[in-house]
Amino acid sequence: MTAVCPAENSPEGTAAGARTAGSKGSASGPAGTAGSSSVSGVQTGRESNGDSVGGSVGGTAVVTGGQRYSRWSRQDSSDINTDDEGATIRRLTPLERLNLDMCQDDRVVREMTVGRRIGFYKIRGEIGVGNFSHVKLGIHALTKDKVAIKILDKTKLDQKTQRLLSREISSMERLHHPNIIRLYEVVETLTRLHLVMEYAGGGELYTKITTEGKLSDADGKIVFAQILSAVQHMHESNIIHRDLKAENVFYTGSSCVKVGDFGFSTLSRRDETLNTFCGSPPYAAPELFRDEHYVGIFVDVWALGVMLFFMMTGAMPFRAETVAKLKRCILEGAYILPSWVPEACQRLIRGILQPIPSDRCKVEQMMGCEWLLPVDFPRSMEPFKLDPSYLAEGDPPELREEEMEVKAALETLGITSEHILNNQGKDCRSSITGVYRILLHRAHKRRAVHSVPAAAKVVGPTKTSGFGGSAVTAAEGKKRHTLRFTSQSMVSSLLTVNDVSH
């Protein structure tokens, strides 16, 4: 783990002495480097159960390089211009204040010792459990944003699982889509890995359906369009998810969903074959049970068909008491579509759940089918920089509006060009990069709220032709439908569901 604090921010952290801060009065030393420096000029340590958790500063004012720093107090954090001796005292920046707390505040140090804090994140309750991990809610101590922290026990990761973890990180960093969960930071301690990701406060699509029942036709179109657009972006980026299911689709607002959990994802060309069976058996394509090799995109497409069936009926198309019976059911390809499912949607499901992989409809065909004609699909985002180093360049390139906003926000928190330059080469394993990505995502959300599609009301009869009405062109469909965009309430939910009130 890389941190600004002079100690590893975890119960397993190693001891690190505090060093004297620089004379310019910036946050003390290279940020993002474990054990680098703090605002303290005093070198002391605290130990609990043999694990060092940070350094301590004596007194309420700290002199560094000729300047005096007042220790932050929760009772009185107002600006103070002079002390009793008449020396000038500068108020600490949020970053300096957090550094100091992580080194000498009893409550913060205790939270770090018992695992209630990791890096810059306060850890709260559990929100999910995976095959190799559990997920907890976290709150960033500087930005106050909620995050999801996926925690893995390093002692239980064999080589295969380590490769999957590496792919998960690289897949999430290659993708730039409003309906795909973002990765902010990776925090590593002696025994654990923490993947800090975007928090989806609305819960799983699976939970919503099992508790509230099947989706309405309009909601089904809105949700499936977002999933479909995200999968199209993955496949265009040569990424195969291999674990698409309702449990891995998360609500971030009343109608906005995002695809997550890339733990089984892999990089693969469209015509390349794979041979590793992974994913959930109820969503597994027939070739996974039948053949030694399979094409990744066809497996993802099949899973989309199973998910759409579940969304529109509240039940799975293939059900059995054992995996062996489930396998036989999937290979036979027998399922019953209830009559209440709209005819155009039924044709789409049948077009997807074809036993022969090459016969399944392509993602582009799904997006042009009659059932989804009333929907305006989200678009992938322009690629954005994952590392903040460009913000500290001597002759920086022309910045976009959101990048200028992020740079100003970083400076407000006390993160300077010096911190960013000292942060180079650490990629996602850096607290400075984590702050940058959270602030950049916040800026993107303010500008991309219209990525949530809305189904329009049909104003005239439609003709059907072939699979799902796919012969009907998009232009013809838009003439017969009235498109409307995201409502203000949906915009508000996008902006607030992942934030903590200040």
Query: Could you give the residue numbers annotated as active site?
Result: 243
Asked whether the predicted pLDDT for residue 48 surpasses 80, the reply is no
| Tens digits of residue pLDDT in 456-469 | 444 333 444 445 54
| 463 in a labelled binding site | no
| Tens digits of residue pLDDT in 222-253 | 999 999 999 999 999 999 999 999 999 999 98
State the Cα–Cα distance between residues 199 and 206, nearest whole angstrom.
17
Q: Mapping DSSP to helix (H, G, I), strand (E, B) and coil, where does residue 83 land?
A: coil
State the Cα–Cα distance between residues 496 and 253, nearest whole angstrom.
9
State the Cα–Cα distance between residues 379 and 382, nearest whole angstrom.
9
pLDDT at 225: 96
| CB-based contact 307:353 (threshold 8 Å) | no
Q: Mapping DSSP to helix (H, G, I), strand (E, B) and coil, where does residue 291 land?
A: coil
Domains of the chain: 1-119 (no CATH), 121-198 (3.30.200.20), 210-378+459-487 (1.10.510.10), 388-451 (no CATH)
Burial class, 73, CB count within 10 angstroms (exposed 0-12 / middle 13-18 / buried 19+): exposed
Q: Which residue has the tokens 């792919």?
A: 167
17: confidence class by pLDDT, cuts 50, 70, 90: very low
Asked whether the predicted pLDDT for residue 263 surpasses 60, the reply is yes
| Tens digits of residue pLDDT in 436-463 | 999 999 999 887 654 445 544 443 334 4
Higher pLDDT, 348 or 380: 348
State the Cα–Cα distance between residues 137 and 127, nearest whole angstrom.
6
As a whole number, the mean pLDDT across the chain is 78
Q: What percent of the chain has pLDDT over 90?
A: 53
pLDDT at 57: 33
392: confidence class by pLDDT, cuts 50, 70, 90: confident
| CB-based contact 127:251 (threshold 8 Å) | no
| Tens digits of residue pLDDT in 314-327 | 999 999 999 999 99
pLDDT at 69: 43
Closest CA to 223 of 142, 312, 153: 312
Range of lowest pLDDT (10-14, 110-114, 452-456, 463-467) = 10-14
Asked whether the predicted pLDDT for residue 299 surpasses 60, the reply is yes
Range of lowest pLDDT (117-126, 331-340, 355-364, 394-403) = 394-403
Asked whether the predicted pLDDT for residue 403 surpasses 80, the reply is yes
Closest CA to 41 of 12, 71, 15: 71
Closest CA to 458 of 435, 432, 477: 477
Structure tokens at 316: 């799975």
Asked whether the predicted pLDDT for residue 38 surpasses 80, the reply is no
Asked whether the predicted pLDDT for residue 189 surpasses 80, the reply is yes
